[in-house]
Amino acid sequence: MTAPTLEALVTPISFATDPSRYRHWRLATGGAIATLTLDVDPAGSLFPGAELKLNSYDLGVDIELADAVQRLRFEHPEVRAVVIRSGKDNVFCAGANITALAKSTHQHKVNFCKFTNETRLAIEDASENSGQRYLAAIGGPAAGGGYELAAACDWIMLVDDRRSSVSLPELPLLAVLPGTGGLTRLTDKRKVRRDRADLFCASEEGARGKRAVEWRLVDECVPPSSWDDKIRERALALAATSDRPSDAKGIALPAVDPAPYLRLDLDRDRRQATITILGPTTLPTDLAGIHAAGAEFWPLGMARALDGALVHLRFNEPELGIIVFKSEGDPARALAADALLETHRDDWFVRETRLFLKRTFKRVDMMARSLFTLIEPGSCFAGSLAELAFAADRSFIHIGTRAGDNRPRATLTLSPLNFGAYPMGNGLTRLATRFLGEPDSLAAAERAIGAPLSAEDAEALGLVTAAYDEVDWDEEIRLMLEERASFSPDALTGLEANLRFAGPETMETRIFGRLTAWQNWIFQRPNAAGDQGSLKLYGTGARPKFNPERV
């Protein structure tokens, strides 16, 4: 129908990187305060032909940021505050690159926004839970996604000169929304008065100086003369609130080899990806052993492999609408891994591992794919891995053995980590969300901690959708997967987004629910995405002509 888009030419997009390969960020460490400097290489876009002017970013720039935020947590226990600043004289960051965005498919636009939102939430998670506080030091204009990046930080400093400003010019310039949480953080995090937020978002030039402070858009304005001193002072003050260890050795994160942790099987005819998690085989016995294992500590290695598979499927396999989770291994060992995570929870590295598991399971929740978990003979859905059953839209457990299969019967086992370590975006555990109307069922599940539950027991406790024996299993699962593949992908995405997040709303669910849903709608409308729409005409000098109809 249309010419191939740029990213179709360069898939698969790779998410593996490290500071030695960064083209757009510089990471300086060496004490309590780290500095992340954004200095985008205009020629370094993921999309050949797009020029990343004015520190604007595409997915490739954000992949590096996500990597840096992650490495700071694991590799740099000494870092207690991170300063984000620009490496360019004239601009902090101009936000998402519009040329790249306009040329990308609808699905890439949506997934790009989702990934960048997850990165900003990871910054807030580091601040809230890892003792790594973030400071945005804005010199020059911070526009659109540039200001939204700052809004994810704990403290925003703005140079008090005529050229430094913050703005969200998406609406007047591009006819789309600020899509990286800006609107939600304006009203709910920074508590900017809504009519001021409206004025701010309708203005191309944004705000600076006293007004930016008075409207709570930034936390302080600083004269150029004291800029570097003030940054250091604020960073030290933030660092002083941290509980990071003072004499710990970082855990290196080499490139991930997923083979020990999972198998990813793609069935394009059935539009289905199967992720089989391989349970732990060897585990350390004490904290020293955990640190010695480092990135090969099974929970961390598994989370890294799973996280990588998820983002790969999102961007590179959009037509695989179904993800089936399976597992293989010894449930007792999976539980032993959880016991290590629980016993040593106060250790900084174990804490980071648990937090990364939390974020990875949230990434599962946010997959716009139908999720099914199959608990079969020989599987190890115990403790943390059981989250994959509770994250799924449906989960099934096999009753009894299979002819000719001597693997152990399927069981499901809960651990204490299922009851608090991995809250969803709504702030509740997956089990609490599941049993929103059945507090007794939640209590019964908690009493079952540690017991390998048979298929019948797991079903009776409401922990799975259904249990089937050998006679029914293959047929029921096959029919279900075929049926799912026949439904409209869009309606499924909307259905799943609605059913997965019952209960309380948080800033995070508001971002992915209200904000993202509206942005997806706008991305689909001719006023933005049409040939005469604002995204297509941006930079041409021509003004888009809008269909004036309101809904």
Residues of this chain, 443-472, that bind a copy of itself according to CB under 8 A: 462, 464-465
Cα–Cα distance measured from residue 310 to residue 111, given in angstroms and rounded to the nearest whole number: 12
Q: Is 377 in the site for a copy of itself (CB under 8 A)?
A: no
Measure Cα distances from 203 to 90, 178, 179, 208, 219 in Å. 20, 13, 16, 12, 20
Q: How far is the CB of 501 from a copy of itself (least distance, A)?
A: 8
Report the relative pairing of strands 165-167 and 262-267 from DSSP bridges.
Answer: unpaired
Determine, following the binding rule CB under 8 A, whether residue 478 of this chain makes contact with a copy of itself: no
Where are the strands (E) in 2-49, listed by range? 25-28, 33-38
Using CB atoms within 10 Å of the CB of residue 49, give its burial: 0 to 12 exposed, 13 to 18 middle, 19+ buried. Answer: exposed
Tokens of 447: 């009493």
**193: contact with a copy of itself by CB under 8 A:** yes
Per CB under 8 A, 211 contacts a copy of itself: no
Per rule CB under 8 A, count of chain residues that contact a copy of itself: 94
Kindly identify the residues of this chain, within the stretch 115-174, that bind a copy of itself according to CB under 8 A: 170-172, 174
Contact code string over 337-356 relative to a copy of itself, x by CB under 8 A: --------------------
Site for a copy of itself in 234-273 (CB under 8 A): 271
Nearer to a copy of itself (CB atom), residue 152 or residue 239: 152
Stretch that binds a copy of itself, among 88-96, 188-196, 298-306, 402-410 (CB under 8 A): 188-196
Q: Which of 236, 237, 436, 451 binds a copy of itself (CB under 8 A)?
A: 436
Query: What's the closest the beta carbon of residue 127 comes to a copy of itself, in angstroms?
Result: 19
* 397 touches a copy of itself (CB under 8 A): no
Residue (of 245, 250, 187, 240) closest to 215 by Cα position:
187
Stretch that binds a copy of itself, among 61-69, 155-163, 291-299, 391-399 (CB under 8 A): 391-399
Give the integer Cα–Cα distance in Å for 544 and 60. 29
The reply on whether position 423 binds a copy of itself by CB under 8 A is no
With binding defined as CB under 8 A, does residue 311 bind a copy of itself? no
We find the least distance from the C-beta atom of residue 243 to a copy of itself, in angstroms, to be 27
What DSSP state is assigned to residue 366? T
Question: What residue type is 130 in one-letter code?
Answer: S
Residue 322 Cβ, how far from a copy of itself at the closest point, in Å? 9
Numbers of helices and strands, H then E, in the chain: 24, 14
Which range touches a copy of itself (CB under 8 A), out of 258-266, 273-281, 342-350, 519-527? 519-527
Which of helix, strand or coil describes residue 385? helix
Question: Of 141, 332, 356, 154, whose CA–CA distance to 235 is shortest?
Answer: 154
- Give residues 5-64 in contact with a copy of itself (rule: CB under 8 A): none
Told to check if 419 binds a copy of itself by CB under 8 A, we report no
Who contacts 307 (Cβ-Cβ below 8 Å, separation ≥6)? Answer: 356, 359, 360, 363
